[in-house]
Amino acid sequence: MKTSFSIIVPVYNRPEEIRELLESLVHQDFAAPFEVVIVEDGSSESSEDIVKKFQGQLQISYYYKENSGPGDSRNYGMQKAQGNYFIILDSDCILPQQYLTEVNKELNQAFVHCFGGPDAADSSFTDVQKAINYVMTSFFTTGGIRGGEKSVGKFQPRSFNMGISKEAFEKAGGFGRIHPGEDPDLTFRIWKAGFDTRLFPKAFVYHKRRIDWNKFYIQVNKFGMVRPILNKWHPGTTRPTYWFPTFFMLGLGISILLAVVGFLLPLWLYVAYFLVLFLDAWLKNRNVKVAFLAIFAALTQFTGYGIGFLKSTILLNFSNKEPEELFPKLFFKRK
């Protein structure tokens, strides 16, 4: 079967991001035709005029719908798409020119019904963006689960850079209403439907992540709250490593208290860890400022995720309420 790509992009109040993404799609070195489906998720800042400027350069369609979240918008786009293989991207991504060629090469070598690719920081990104990108992708902070490493067990694609066949989409039922967490939830249902997933290491995107420190904390805090919900829905996917940020921050607090009374060894172990983190971030970015910011980003990540994970675990285990009742802000209502 010939693979026909449909690129699905939900957007919410970010027309300038869509322009940058579409420009990168224009410059793809992929020879075969592909379509682009833009789904405006109830935005007040429309991307329609931006999309119109690319209609002569790309096979592109634009749809506006009421706000119901990125997962539902992706489902909507895949229902409208004409291709048999969907590539899902976030609006804050920029593609290197070889992206589609690398995806096509992987699928031709060994077809898989669902794939995910890594994210990287472009040289034009700010120091904060580079630091956040580092901690979101580094083995020393996330274990490489977002595509930075190949030896991470069964790979869980993320929806900022994810491919799924039309067949797998229809059998798995598409994205759910939870957000964030809609991508691992779909991945688990794809596995249950009998399909495999794989990392395409060379099919990376530049992920801009236009967030400040406060937004980053809120984001990772939500990631922490979502994980116990996913563990409850999909018990076989639970891992002890999900507790790492919580125990890390509790251990750091205890180490500081022990240091006050003269027992310094535990704190020195944390110092050694942060030194390794600093050196790795510096080697990867060749920027001392980014390396220092990476330490702060890691502390923000572990604190936000750890608190969210612990809070969610306690509430889910000591309450009779369903997750949607306990955490209504983590769920979108379908229109």
For residue 284, with 0-12 CB atoms within 10 Å meaning exposed, 13-18 middle and 19 or more buried, which class applies? middle
Number of Cβ within 10 Å of residue 74's Cβ equals 28
220-244: b (≥16 Cβ within 10 Å) or e: bbbbbbbbbbbbebbeebeeeebeb
Is it true that the peptide bond before 180 is cis, omega within 30 degrees of 0?
yes
Whole-number percent of the chain with pLDDT over 90: 84
Query: Can you tell me the distance from the alpha carbon of 137 to that of 121, in angstroms, rounded to the nearest whole number?
Result: 10
Is residue 165 within 8 A of residue 107, CB to CB? The reply is no
pLDDT in tens, 43-61: 999 999 999 999 989 999 9
Domains detected in the chain:
5-117+157-210 (3.90.550.10), 228-330 (no CATH)
- The kind and range of the H/E element at 25 are helix 15-26
pLDDT of 147 > 70? The answer is: no
Q: In this structure, what are the phi and psi dihedrals at residue 122, rounded to the nearest 5 degrees? A: -75, 155
- Which of 68, 72, 80, 100 minimizes the C-alpha distance to 37? 80
pLDDT in tens, 285-318: 999 999 999 999 999 999 999 999 999 999 999 9
N-term to C-term CA, the chain? 35
Token pair listed for 265: 């060894």
- The kind and range of the H/E element at 20 are helix 15-26
pLDDT in tens, 159-211: 999 999 999 999 999 999 999 999 999 999 999 999 999 999 999 999 987 67
pLDDT in tens, 32-43: 999 999 999 999
